[in-house]
Amino acid sequence: MARATSASPTGCSSLPARGAVMSSISDTITRLRAVGSTALPADVAVSRLTAMGEVGRNPGALRAWLHVPPELPAGAPLVVVLHGCTQTAAAYDHGSGWSALADRFGFALLYPEQRRANNPNLCFNWFSPEDTRRGGGEVESIREMIVAAVDRLGLDPARVFVTGLSAGGAMTSALLACHPELFAGGAIIAGLPFGVARNVPEALDRMRGRGHDRAGLGDSVRAASAHAGSWPAIAVWHGTADATVDKVNAALIVDQWRGIHRVDGDEAVETSDGLVRRVWHDEAGRAVIRHYEVAGLGHGTPVATAGDEACGVPGPHMLDAGISSTYRIAAEWGIAPPVAPPRPADAPIAAIAPPRFDPAATINDALRAAGLIGR
């Protein structure tokens, strides 16, 4: 049975809380149409993903999608990808280019997907304590998906990685904190630290960079599990012009994990082509934290449309920065070459078809979001 949340900070826009009285259905449809115009298409013709089916208890009532390249070798890596608000799994895959990269370099993809019944704007509920605790809610659903995917596909449990955008980035923070034993690395794009919000008003404040408990950041991660082993490596990507999730959140994610990894100071700083990259190494010399600031980038995932790293398609919240975060994240995880080989000649960057608007589905979604019909 799908859960309903009382409201949803979206990382993009907001819809009425469940149970609120709507001024009119037509106004609601207008708002949902506007939201739909910011979402990438999830049509079957665009999607390269396959439904995974049932995966255990699924207390967060999420959907699960896979992309498995042909002739995937046994013991291949797994990348878990979390979409942003107003997006679907297929839309985010299309924009980010992860499945194209998986086909080239031989790894599997798992896409958890939010349901509108859980959150009217398709945001992962990163601000809900019940969804961001070990053993419960959406975090537990995603853990069960990972365990099932590794088992069914014969993947390497030591090479599981996770990345996400915006609300998906904040949920990436939650997964890394609640289940560090599952992941070799994580990449948080335009996201927030773990444990900084417990409700909608707090979430909105934190997105604006206000009200953070800086002193308690590391304690939030340590309290999320009884983990006593090594911690996953972290990458943080954020645009300097992000007006939706303030860039201070990127610095706070770094601070949260510097305490966990026990690293001090800027180990290395590189600047090139509008990109500032900072790296911290642990005592063994392993790069455990990377922080990327993309000059002038707004709220979204940096993609590249030219050059050997190019993959994905620009669109709303998929921003052509001349830098492929997808490729660079994969390369740092060791599942793509450190230097991108020449792109295949038969791998063009495709155009995006306009999203379809389904009036009947939108009316039903509006009524459910308002609490006027059952789920």
What amino acid positions are annotated as catalytic residues?
166
Q: Which residues contact 40 (CB under 8 A, 6 or more apart)?
A: 87, 88, 91, 92, 94, 95, 315, 316, 318, 352, 355
Q: What is the Cα–Cα distance from 32 to 120, expressed in whole angstroms? A: 9
Residue from 135, 153, 192, 169 nearest 74 by CA: 153
Torsion angles phi and psi, residue 249, rounded to 5: -65, -35
Taking the C-alpha atoms of residue 345 and residue 343, their distance in angstroms, rounded to an integer, is 6
Token digits of residue 194: 């773990």
Half-sphere exposure of 151 (CA within 13 A, CB side): 9
Vertex 227, ends 221 and 233: CA angle to 5°? 65
210: left (phi over 0), alpha (psi -120 to 50) or beta: beta
